[in-house]
Amino acid sequence: MQGVGLLIILLGAIAFIVFMTARVRLHPFLVLLLASLGVGLLAGLPANQVINAITGGFGSTLSGIGIVIAAGTIMGFIMEKSGAAVVMARSILKLVGETRSALAMAFTGGVVSIPVFCDSGFVILSPLNRTLAAQSNQSLSVFAIALSMGLYTTHVFVPPTPGPIAAAGTVGADLGTVILVGLVVSIPTLLAGYYFAKYYGPKIHIDPAPEGGEASLQSDEKEYPSVLRSFAPIVVPVLLIALKSVADYPSAPFGSGSLSSFLSFVGNPNIALLIGVFLSFLTVPKITQEVLGDWVGKGLTDAGLIILITGAGGALGQVIRETPIAAYLSSSLSALQVGIFVPFILAAALKTAQGSSTVAIITTAGIISPLMPALGLASGLGPALTVMAIGAGSMTVSHANDSYFWVVAQFSDMKVEQAYRLQTLASLVTGIVGIIVVSLLYFIFV
């Protein structure tokens, strides 16, 4: 098949993914595998070639990021259970000050969500949110949205959160560069969420009614880890990965000897995240069999689903590469000059339709990866900015088919219509600000 028929196949595959995940509720892993089979066979590939493309794409994707996703998820689960997330929240609040407590909660969310899923982070920090809203005599909606968007921002932009890690691996972006660019994009996006919460949140009053939230955070004080131990599992791996990226620059700033080799080894994302896992063990008062077995096992259970979906997304991308679809779209898209907006629009469509930001990120990365040369995104900062554009799209928008929407609504005493006016609208604002920042970086550096 050639020409427009190839485009119809790809659009049909996207529609199939949206329908099966959003309406039928079939698991994304199976949906992506079925889409891969359908695209390959309908595009005219021999059956054996389709199978080889699926297995090859699945394996090559996971060989680069499987361990990283697993390690990051284990680390996040342990930090959630040990109370390290609460310690980080208190530290940021102390640094920023209670007079700017809503801003403190936004930045707290941004830090906590780097290792911890945003759903879990919101649940963990909700008691503190209520207490601060009551102490400052403000509507809970202000603090809820400030925290929610802070968590959401780094969830979609900054590794070691699994979505950005998976996207970076799929599109071939350097992870250290993705972390650095993700932090740059996150700051204005997070601030957009904060200012939305500050100026629009008071229009919808929600009584904080703390119900002992402050006490629940301050109980068992001696069981919490220190500030240093709480931040170390995040800061050390990020620093090591960043140093590796610097060491690998063509100018060789660390030379070509043992120091450069050492930084390249410990800064490899697989090694850096494993170091993070063992540092997270230090946040636990006593390392028991429950920590070493049950907690690690629970983290691996959560990681397994993400790893399988990521592999299936890689399989779809490999099938697209081996069909004439990639060549046809390359010749078509290169003349449109739409560049960075294509991954954003596709991720936003998938996010809005099926609800999961992680699924939207992984699926979009698999589809976009073969098209990056045509979009002008295959070199320089292009791959990292592609991950950012996908992340911005995956925020847009959070509504009733998104589990995070219900977590924010239920833990903040929002009625459904209030959650639409707050959470959904805030995610639209932050997603648009995110792609604006990404597009500015694109036009400057690519």
What domain count does the chain have? 1
Query: pTM to 2 decimals?
Result: 0.81
**Residue type present at position 118:** C
Minimum mean pLDDT among 24-28, 123-127, 160-164, 285-289: which range? 123-127
Residue 311 is assigned to a structural domain of this protein: no
246-262 average pLDDT score: 83
Alpha-carbon separation of residue 384 from 58, 184, 300, 340, 446 (angstroms): 21, 12, 27, 11, 11
Query: Is the pLDDT score of 166 beyond 60?
Result: yes
Residue 214 lies in a domain: yes
**Residue-level pLDDT at 421:** 94
51 domain residue, yes or no: no
Instruction: Look at residue 333 in the predicted model and tell me its pLDDT.
Output: 57
How many CA within 13 A on the CB side of residue 351?
31
Q: Among 58-67, 72-81, 333-342, 386-395, which stretch is predicted with the lowest mean pLDDT?
A: 333-342
Please give the Cα distance from 278 to 1 (Å, whole number): 52
Token output for 189: 């996006």
Q: E strands, 4-78, where? A: none
Query: In the predicted model, what is the mean pLDDT of residues 268-272?
Result: 88
> What phi and psi values does residue 282 have, to the nearest 5 degrees?
-75, -10
Q: pLDDT, tens digit, for every residue of 411-423?
A: 898 988 899 899 9
Average the pLDDT over each of 106-115, 232-241, 282-291, 326-335 and give the range with the smallest value: 326-335
pLDDT of residue 370: 86
**Left (φ > 0), alpha (ψ -120 to 50) or beta: where does 427 sit?**
alpha
Indicate whether 264 belongs to any domain: yes
Mean pLDDT along residues 165-192: 94
- On whether residue 247 sits in a domain, the answer given is yes
Domain containing 337 equals 62-299+332-445
Q: Is residue 274 part of a domain?
A: yes
Q: How confident is the model at residue 117, as a pLDDT?
A: 80
Percent of the chain surpassing pLDDT 90: 38
String of b and e for 40-69 (b: at least 16 CB within 10 Å)? Answer: bbbbebeeeebebbbeebbebbbebbbbbb
Rounded to whole angstroms, what are the CA distances from 210 to 75, 86, 206? 30, 17, 11
Say if residue 207's pLDDT is above 70.
Answer: yes
Which of 17, 69, 46, 4 shows the shortest CA–CA distance to 300? 69
186-190, 200-204, 246-250: the lowest-pLDDT one:
246-250
Confidence class of residue 337 from pLDDT cuts 50, 70 and 90? low
Q: What is the pLDDT of residues 281-293, one digit of tens each?
A: 999 988 898 889 9
pLDDT at 195 over 90: yes
Least confident of 5-14, 327-336, 359-368: 327-336
Q: Which sign does the torsion angle of CA 434, 436, 439, 440 carry? A: negative
The CA-atom distances, in angstroms, between 58 and each of 130, 371, 392 are 44, 18, 25
* Assigned domain for 325 exists: no
DSSP state, residue 225: P
Residue 19 lies inside a defined structural domain of this protein: no
When mean pLDDT is compared over 112-126, 148-162, 234-248, the highest value belongs to: 148-162
When mean pLDDT is compared across 151-155, 195-199, 233-237, 324-328, the lowest value belongs to: 324-328
